[in-house]
Structure 1
Amino acid sequence: MTTTPTVVLVHGAFADAASWSGVIAELQGDGIPVIAPPNPLRGLASDAAYVASVAAQIDGPVILVGHSYGGALITVAGTTENVVGLVYVAAYALEEGESLGELQGRFPLSPLVASLKEWTYPVPGGDPAVEVTIAEDAFPSVFAADVPADVTKVLAAAQRPLAAAAFEETAAAAAWRTKPSWALVAAADEAINPEVERFGAKRAGATIVELEGASHAVAVSRPKEVADLIRAAVRATG
């Protein structure tokens, strides 16, 4: 008897677990076990350790799905023993020893970079650290151009900021070297250059699906197509 893997959905920066709502509904409709834990967004090593700890506490096989920055996290956390597959959704697929900034820097910068707003947050025993969000006026075009305006307005207000230090931390491992992977490229992404998504996916040897006209918020705008790729991963590993 085969065990259906549990799907763990890892959101990225400037979003929260609710961004997976449509995908969750699709997977639950097929009886696929799924959870979407909160991503701390405080740093690559600590966030990946958290995701790994979530996966390790699940009985049976796990498929890790990462959106955006979440892709960098599943790349590291995917070395957890019971993880059987990785799915990248408009995401970064890093190499071991590589940072987000380094990978991005090989390609023309996306409009996101000029649209970031800096904030600070307290750090025990040290100076305040910097975190970033997307400026609200730029959020619709950069993050969610194919999402209805009323929904986008809410998403912009509910952003989860990312610690700026996360851009410079390097990946401690590249789980795609030993685990099968799938990748969805959002062809109209203005947050991550689609070339970055394609490059990482090809390097990882991923099974790639590309969605024309899809924004960075592809899990919100095209949940069925995102779920279809995850279903393929579940079928292949279950």
Structure 2
Amino acid sequence: MSFLKPIIKMGAVVVTRLRKDAVLYAELKQPRKRKRGRPRKYGKRIKLNNVVKSSDGWFKVKAFLYGKQEIKDVKVFTALYKPAGCLVGVLVVHEGKDCFRALMCTDLAASAAGILEAVADRYAIEQNFSDLKEIEGAGQQQVRTLGSNIGAFHLNLWLHSMVEMWAWDKSAKVLCNRSNSPWDDANRRPSHADKCATLIREVLKQTFFVSSDKSHEINKIHKQFYKLLKLVA
């Protein structure tokens, strides 16, 4: 969390999850008359488990999360978070019996719905980075210079974008067939890996079959080759 203080100084707003054992403090109220010794920097310690157990302050909020409208039980309060070095807004989301999530936002004026939706929007960004690393192989290029690394990463980004553009107007039935994976969710939307595999199969089909004739023997070869494509891509 060492990045928080420089980012906040730049004027950026940070929204992120908090650990359930995050160290939070109440805002310190300065006494009218200063006492002897070093003045206190922090107020009373706030434990998230105690916040959740308390029945006060909970309210319901509507937010558009992961493509649909949802209602969440939440509690909002302000606390001092040491890694941020300032007061932050803390949002506690009740997810069920003995289950909660804690979120933090450096914008004290942010609404509960705004914080929830910002965290949900991060998922798509994180999924893109995951696809870039695991499927496109970003960061695995063995090149020597800084310029070559930058160029290789740009190629990965372009490849990812071009695959998504190619698959944009295609139906889920075209992009994936999970009949060979009965344990998988048939209604799950096509992943980036599904789109890449479909594009590879399409390129191979056009490469090998576009100029071939329609004889019986050739059709038998085609069928066997399609079976091979399913195994390879």
Per the shorter chain, which TM-score range? Answer: under 0.3
Q: Of the two, which has the highest radius of gyration?
A: 2
Structure-2-length-normalised TM-score: 0.22
Normalised by the size of structure 1, how large is the TM-score? 0.22
